[in-house]
Structure 1
Amino acid sequence: MHTILLYARLVRYGFRKHATYVAAALAGAFTNSVFGILRAYVLIALWQARPGLAGYDVLDAVTFCFITQAFIGPMQLFGGGLTIPERIRSGDIALDLVRPASLQLCSLAEDLGRAGYLFVVRGLPPTILGALLFGITAPDNPGAFLVSFTLGVVVSFGWRYLVALSVCWLLDDRGTMAVSLVLTTFFSGMMLPLGIFPGFLGDLAAALPWAAMVQIPMDVYLGKADIWQALGVQALWVAVMLGLGALGTRLIRHRVVIQGG
């Protein structure tokens, strides 16, 4: 019971911590909105030239554009969002590892609070603007979409947590961050729906964890996926990512002990 209360407080802490950076969040919302408008015109032109591409019509494509723009902040699609790399470099990670609460779950709880705040402040403005300027569709099943979105946030956290832990071995996360940015942007569906990718590449992209961050929640939003199958795939990737994260945490604890703390 005490552990549950701790994680609940960390969710609240994550929300309040990021609520202090209102100007930064609003600036991010403005940037996402501007790029959303530019993307929308590109996608409209593409779908007018190729009607029915990837099973979408023009309205679906515009909706895809603005909802995925709203995903950027909450899901931290461009990477980062965790303080673990800095704490590894400073040595403060040793204190985190000896605490009775799980480093991974504490980080997840705080990240969920961050995502909740950015969903409201940075995610809603692009969505509202897109609805006003172009018109977008409402979610086919709001409850299922909310669950899918939350699972996507957790998958994103799991991936970013692994990237953050890599600093323990690489000492510098700039290389892994750059690779993560390319993989997430290309394979998540952030740029274009993965259904556009041809043949084997499309099948591969849909099977990778990054699709669980953007493409699957969007398929649920647009009503183009079997809900239980989509949620099942996301839940599988949540289990895999958190499992790898738990293993990585054990490995860095061993490494800290071997290095003398």
Structure 2
Amino acid sequence: MVTAGFRRQSAYRLAMLAGLVANMTFGLIRSAQLSAASQSAGGSLAGYEHDQLMSFVWVSQGLLGAVNLFGSTEIASRIKDGQVAVDFLRPTSVVGQYLATDLGRALYTFVPRGIPSVLVGAATTGVAFATAPLHWVAGGVGVLLGIAIAYLSAHCLATLGFWFVETRGFEATYMVTTTFLAGLYLPVSMFPGWLAAIAHASPFPSMLQRPVDVLVGRTTGLDVWTSLATQAGWFLVMLALALVLTRAGRHTLEIQGG
């Protein structure tokens, strides 16, 4: 299923190009804003040196195609029209097969969107990464966990379709909440204390903020292991929740028209 997801995503080359253009455009906007804020603060902002802050912008933009912060999933439409019944007849876990497919999709996006976005950042604003091999290994594992957590969270959102005929309101609210609390627009460390506490009590920073902080070298020492443990914990929580909701929805599915 991972291979199938990778191959299917590779068919949408123009979409990947459009995504890269969007990544570069918003990366330049975000880097300009945060660079000005950093320079106004004397070169360091919320614990980020200027180069680390630029790296945060471009790595998060590069991961945006892989990490599903927007909540759109194939299974949502299949629940809506009832085709998910076919998925339940297959001799595999519904959650497992879609998670594996999404992982393959995400892995492909690193080639046409992720790496070029970081290279654009290096050529325009400059970037700086952690140099210790531990950070690269931990960061890679963290990215995979972030992809999985983001998918499982979006899967839980999709299961609302088992109980509600129309879910677009939930999806819009989810997209706004997730992209903000995951640290896409601003690092969570820049939030007011009460808002940062809310963010850290949710799985959203584990989707993007935590792995990026490891890769750019802001998270160091034992905090690297704490970050990975937090991500692993949220992965298990979201996996259990996705399995429970999918199982419960299987017995309550009602589609429009019958």
Shorter chain as denominator, the TM-score bin is over 0.9
Deviation digits for residues 31-70 of structure 1, max 9, x if unmatched? Answer: 1111101111111101011232210111111111111111
Q: What amino acid maps onto 1:137 in structure 2? A: A
Deviations 1:140-160 (A, max 9, x none): 421111000000001101111
Q: Does 1:23 align with 2:14?
A: yes
Q: CA RMSD in A?
A: 1.6
Q: Unpaired runs of 5+ in structure 1?
A: 1-9
Specify the alignment match of 1:6 in structure 2. none
Q: Deviations over 1:71-116 (max 9, x none)?
A: 1110022221x21122112211111112221000000000000000
Equivalent position amino acid for 2:198 in 1 = L
The answer to whether the Cα contact below 8 Å between 1:18 and 1:117 also exists between their aligned partners in 2 is yes
**DSSP-derived class of the 2:24 partner:** helix
Q: Select the residue among 128, 139, 157 that pairs with 1:137.
A: 128
More helix by share: 1
User: Counterparts of 1:139 and 1:23 in 2: how far apart (Å)?
Assistant: 33
Q: Is residue 154 of structure 2 the alignment partner of residue 163 of structure 1?
A: no
Alignment-mate amino acid for residue 57 of structure 2: C
| Distance of 1:253 and 1:157 partners within structure 2 | 19
- The whole-number CA distance in structure 1 between the counterparts of 2:115 and 2:164 is 37
Amino acid at match of 1:242: L
Q: What displacement does 1:227 show?
A: 1.2
Letter in 2 for 1:73: G
Q: Does 1:13 align with 2:4?
A: yes
Partner of residue 119, structure 1: 110
Give the TM-score normalised by structure 2.
0.92
Distance 2:116 2:171 in 1: 27
Query: Residue 139 of structure 1 contacts residue 145 of structure 1 at CA under 8 Å; is this kept in 2?
Result: no
Pair 1:43–1:71, CA change in 2 (3 A):
same
Which residue identity is paired with 2:78? Answer: R
Q: Flag structure 2 segments of 5+ consecutive residues without an equivalent.
A: none
**Match for 1:77 among 69, 77, 94?**
69
Q: Which position in structure 2 is the counterpart of 1:235?
A: 232
How far apart are residue 203 of structure 1 and its match? 2.3
